[in-house]
Amino acid sequence: MLSLPATYLLTSFYWDNLIMFGMAPKRGGNGKLVFMMPMGEAKLPQIAAEDIGRCAYGIFQRGGELIGKRVGIAGEHLTGAEMAAKLSQALGEEVDYFSPSFDAYRGFGFPGADDLGNMFQFNHDCAEEFCAARSLEFSRSVNPALQSFAEWLSVNKSKMTIG
């Protein structure tokens, strides 16, 4: 067996999914914006994709200190309702939160629905452990410029396709 020095980086759900994978709020039949994510009231570790690279750089800057360790990163731990509230502020329009069942989400039929449904169910069912493994304090220590969701939204809201 080959022994290599390694640090294991545990990342989080990244906000860029709202841009690249169509997860931005959509208009419901009543005309109101709805943000949908099957997380119920559980918190989800989240981060800007660019901050993943910045955190990795900060880890490399520490030299051998973290070799052999597992380190997790996140910009915030938010519920779907908290995300909807921040989306409301950024977009200047009320955004409701809807949490479908995991089976319903997996059944939506878009490419990757099964995988995403499974990921959200794992994150929901193991939320306490999943958040604990992704320290906000550690993340900020390796990336002092770590963005909050509100900061990320202020720069990226115009890139989201609001349906």
SS3 112: coil
Rg (CA), the chain: 17
Cβ-based neighbour number of residue 31 at 10 Å: 6
Q: Give residue-wise pLDDT tens across range 139-153.
A: 999 999 999 999 999
Q: Give residue-wise pLDDT tens across range 60-100.
A: 999 999 999 999 999 999 999 999 999 999 999 999 999 99
Q: Give residue-wise pLDDT tens across range 36-69.
A: 999 999 999 999 999 999 999 999 999 999 999 9
Where exactly are the structural domains of the chain? 8-152
Phi and psi for 110 in degrees, rounded to 5? Answer: -80, 160
In this structure, which CATH number among 3.40.50.720, 3.40.50.300, 3.30.420.40, 3.10.20.30 belongs to the domain 8-152? 3.40.50.720
How confident is the model at residue 2, as a pLDDT? 60
Angle between helices 80-91 and 149-156 (to 10 degrees): 40
Q: Are 45 and 130 in contact (CB under 8 A)?
A: yes
**CB < 8 Å & 24+ apart, contacts of 122-131:** 123/13, 123/39, 123/42, 123/44, 124/38, 124/39, 124/40, 124/42, 127/39, 127/42, 127/43, 127/44, 130/44, 130/45, 131/43, 131/44, 131/45, 131/74, 131/77
How confident is the model at residue 4, as a pLDDT? 84
